[in-house]
Amino acid sequence: MPVLQINNLTKRYGKLTALDNLNLTIEAGNIYGLLGPNGSGKTTTLGMILGILAKTSGSFEWFDGKYGDKYRMQIGAILETPNFYPYLNAQKNLEIVQDIKQSQNDDIEALLTTVNLAHRKGSKFRTYSLGMKQRLAIAATLIGSPEVVIFDEPTNGLDPEGIAEVRNILRRVADSGKTVIMASHLLDEVEKICSHVAIIKDGHLRATGEVGKIFTDDTTLIISSNNLDGLKDMLSSRSYINELVQLDNQIIECQMSSEITAEEICRLAFDNNIMLTRLETRKRRLEDDFLELTKGNIIKN
């Protein structure tokens, strides 16, 4: 069942189009990453679906319209930096969130323990480090046990230790069965946490789908032989070779899926009486896919 259906959502600021005809469906239970460089339209998208930014055109529907105007009670979200009352402590800030969400059954102490903040629950928000603020924000999103939680650049500005801690917490949230929507410009983060991804660039959707399918784990093989034609014939008939390009008179570059290893290629050539003069494997990096998707006009779905 889709928790969110976005149809042709567009946001313009004067002549600038921040988001252009975005279509997206997010299914329940997915961990959905909105991935794109800074200024690509991720936060604008989140702002509109949370009702704090007016849309220029298009539509979106949460939970198939099941909750009407009160849909936001089923969403826990933090946009950009965590914002709380600086003169109140963690406990009081979470009590206010509880009031807003009209949810009195949360165990604030347990939530603070989940995000490793129980020991500082009495300290004022303004005394917190950025990592602690981010962790309090995550605790706040969980108040009222919402069906969907949304995080916008949750590890922005954190040191490596803070990043690891926040990612662990996010994984635990995702494991609890909630639908998670996370905006990030960090490919690594999306790859490690998300099951699905939508890549946005300049307000346009470039690709969407399962992370494993969008980011291929193909291996690139650089291979050369004195019998280049024989080598080409041998490789082109194999199903695990996805793409084959002759770079010059002696070298072939081919993309192969992970089901075959370089050793097996070597043995295959030997069995076909082809002497290899060079065999080099290069793992295609996710960054290559990401850069390719955000650079050109490729639409992958």
Q: Which stretch binds another protein (CB under 8 A): 67-75, 175-183, 214-222, 274-282?
A: 67-75
Binding track over 98-117 against another protein, x by CB under 8 A = -xxxx---------------
* Choice between 11 and 206, CB closer to another protein: 11
- Binding residues for another protein, rule CB under 8 A, total 32
For residues 230 and 42, give the distance between their C-alpha atoms in angstroms, rounded to a whole number: 49
User: Which residues within the stretch 32-51 sit at the binding site for another protein (CB under 8 A)?
Assistant: 50-51
Q: Which of 97, 108, 198, 274 binds another protein (CB under 8 A)?
A: 97
Strands 179-184 and 148-152: parallel
Q: Which of 85, 145, 226, 298 binds another protein (CB under 8 A)?
A: 85
Least spacing, CB of residue 210 vs another protein, in Å:
28
Six token digits for residue 250 = 């002696």
Q: Which of 21, 23, 56, 95 binds another protein (CB under 8 A)?
A: 95
Contact status: 87 vs another protein (CB under 8 A): yes
Phi-psi sector, 29: left (phi>0), alpha (psi -120 to 50), beta:
left
Contact status: 96 vs another protein (CB under 8 A): yes
Residue 1, burial from CB neighbour count under 10 angstroms (0-12, 13-18, 19+): exposed
Q: Which of 3, 34, 35, 79 binds another protein (CB under 8 A)?
A: 79
* Choice between 136 and 269, CB closer to another protein: 136
Q: Which of 83, 226, 246, 277 binds another protein (CB under 8 A)?
A: 83
Q: CA torsion angle for 10, 15, 16, 21 (degrees, to 10)?
A: 20
């002549």: which residue's tokens? 15
* Choice between 84 and 290, CB closer to another protein: 84
User: Which residues within the stretch 261-300 sit at the binding site for another protein (CB under 8 A)?
Assistant: none
User: Which residues within the stretch 116-145 sit at the binding site for another protein (CB under 8 A)?
Assistant: 140, 143-144
* Choice between 85 and 270, CB closer to another protein: 85
Spatial CB neighbours of 9, under 8 Å, sequence gap ≥ 6: 19, 21, 22, 23, 45, 48, 49, 55, 57, 58, 59, 60
* Choice between 88 and 251, CB closer to another protein: 88
* Choice between 86 and 157, CB closer to another protein: 86
Contact status: 201 vs another protein (CB under 8 A): no
Least spacing, CB of residue 75 vs another protein, in Å:
8
Q: Which stretch binds another protein (CB under 8 A): 77-85, 161-169, 179-187, 254-262?
A: 77-85
- By the criterion CB under 8 A, which residues form the site for another protein? 50-54, 69-70, 72-73, 75-79, 81, 83-88, 92, 95-97, 99-102, 140, 143-144
